[in-house]
Amino acid sequence: MDGGVTVITNPTVSVRLTSTISSFEVNRRFNRGITVAEFKSKLEMVVGSPASNMDLQLFSASDKFLQKMEDNEALLGSYPVDDDCRIHVIDRSGAQTGEFSDLTKVEKYVIPDDAYGKRTDSARSFMKKKKLGQYNEEKMAQLEEEKAEREQEEKAAAEAIAVGSRCQVHVSGQPTKIGTVMFVGKTDFKPGYWVGVKYDEPLGKNDGSVNGKQYFECQPKYGAFVKPQTVTVGDFPEEDYGLDEM
């Protein structure tokens, strides 16, 4: 033995990879014996940049800049590339960060409705075959009939309520409230018939207006809109809350 020291170097190295066209960091293991040009070719599938458009920068494991890797003929192992160091790929093709991961920039294809209707493997085709949802004519007819009946009941209840009448309002899960009917009819904010009530107490939600449209006038928090079925018209005198007492 000559007493010399033999250094055994691991033939592969694990590095962290970042690039200017992706916000992600990935870890890969490479052979130190490949050239920088071969290394760039392997990076094409990792970072999405052509090898000919790559500039490489080498950083330490603590992300301290070490040097550029400019010699394509040099071996990867000839650079101080150690485990957990970082190699940053600068793309010179004009791509920008997130270009390949931001789906908002991808043009979406929308199949025309008539073409979609002709497909036999679509959800619509399946529902038609199974007569589900809107394609169940008998069920849809029944639902339409029930809807028409509810609308007639609601209309009849609304027509029996006169503006100016005293009333009680019974909404499920809420205490009974007393007030005066100020409006009866259809509105812009929701379909169907509605009754506008001015409560005797500030138990409402508005001043008689919804979405900027005034249906009747009252003080804020005294007005509310309820369904006709929740309103009972009768002789409900306004209670004396002792406001005039000393």
CB-CB neighbours of 154 under 10 Å: 16
User: What is the pLDDT tens value at each position of the chain, 246 positions in all?
Assistant: 445 544 446 789 999 999 988 888 899 999 999 999 999 999 988 888 888 889 999 999 999 999 999 999 999 999 999 999 999 999 887 655 455 555 665 667 777 888 877 888 878 788 778 777 777 888 888 888 898 999 999 999 999 999 999 999 999 888 999 999 999 999 999 999 999 999 999 999 999 999 999 999 999 999 999 999 999 999 998 765 555 544
Residue range(s) in the chain whose domain bears CATH number 2.30.30.190: 166-233
Token couple for 38: 């071969």
* Structural class in CATH, domain 12-91: alpha beta
Residue range(s) in the chain whose domain bears CATH number 3.10.20.90: 12-91
Domain 166-233: assigned CATH number: 2.30.30.190
pTM: 0.47
CA-wise closest residue to 46 among 25, 67, 75: 25
DSSP 124-154: HHHHHHHT-GGG-HHHHHHHHHHHHHHHHHH
